[in-house]
Amino acid sequence: MIIVLLGPPGAGKGTQADRLAARLGIPKIATGDVLRAALRDGTPRGKEAKAFMDRGDLVPDSVILGILQDVMNSPATAKGAILDGAVRTVPQAEGLGIMLAEIGKKVDKVLLFDVDDEELVKRLSTRTVCEGCQTPYMGRLPGSECEKCGGRLVRRKDDEPEAIRNRLEVYRSQTEPVIDWYKDQKMKVTKVDADAPVDEVTARALEALGESESGVKT
Ligand code: AP5
């Protein structure tokens, strides 16, 4: 099953993608994580993306489509994938559709995580993330230790106030049109109210995917 997660920055896409991946047994593909790893490794892709990411702008479609091409043709995604923030422009949605059709696949589900702006800003301005495994935390200070891998928690450069503002604007102008594009393709986009405790949001997402928490299909 190929699942596309849409939603503004801070809506909890990454948090929920980890949980859905564990529950459904398919990998999470987060283009933000792939780009940050490329940046840390100093690859040409990472160097190209850095300035865009620091400002909170989208990196060029060509870079994202290159990443998607690599991952969708990898054996790791043979059973499906949860695409976290991997489709943020209409050309990316079109490009993904074409590359999946070439390998006899398609996007099966699109979930849209919905949270109001005030809560998004609160979440992002208090977030720290693990330098190593990228797990996000709320209310934990930079320099603390990651519970999962023991890595160091840091603040993301794009979680500074100006970059947060820009990311929200970029989401409205460039990513929201993707919702209508999927609807025009007769694809159902299921809105998930994500302004609730993390467990509750997971339950809502599983229900939207037709999966119950006990593992029985609903
Ligand atoms: P990316 O890393 O994907 O950032 P983003 O989309 O801005 O999303 P975030 O990671 O900020 O938020 P999230 O929705 O995953 O929420 P999270 O679970 O962390 O991308 C970074 C950059 O890379 C982009 O700006 C762009 O430059 C580039 N990029 C990536 N993909 C691209 C693409 N396809 N095209 C072009 N450029 C691309 O949660 C946020 C916080 O809230 C955490 O602290 C978490 O603990 C907390 N939280 C989560 N759920 C809840 C809850 N239910 N209640 C309370 N707190 C919660």
Whole-number pLDDT of residue 213:
67
Q: Where are the alpha helices (DSSP H) in the chain?
A: 13-24, 31-41, 44-55, 61-72, 90-102, 117-125, 161-170, 176-184, 198-208
pTM: predicted TM-score of the whole model, two decimal places: 0.94
Our answer on whether the CB atom of 123 is closer than 6 Å to any ligand 1 atom is yes
213 CA → ligand 1 middle, Å: 24
pLDDT interval class at 215 (50, 70, 90) = low
Number of neighbours of residue 169 by Cβ within 10 angstroms: 12
- Furthest CA-CA distance within the chain: 47
Q: Where are the alpha helices (DSSP H) in 1-43?
A: 13-24, 31-41
Our answer on whether the CB atom of 86 is closer than 6 Å to any ligand 1 atom is yes
Q: What is the pLDDT of residues 164-206, one digit of tens each?
A: 999 999 999 999 999 999 999 999 999 999 999 999 999 999 9
Domain assignments of the chain as residue spans, ordered by start: 2-115+175-208
Architecture category of domain 2-115+175-208 in CATH? 3-Layer(aba) Sandwich (3.40)
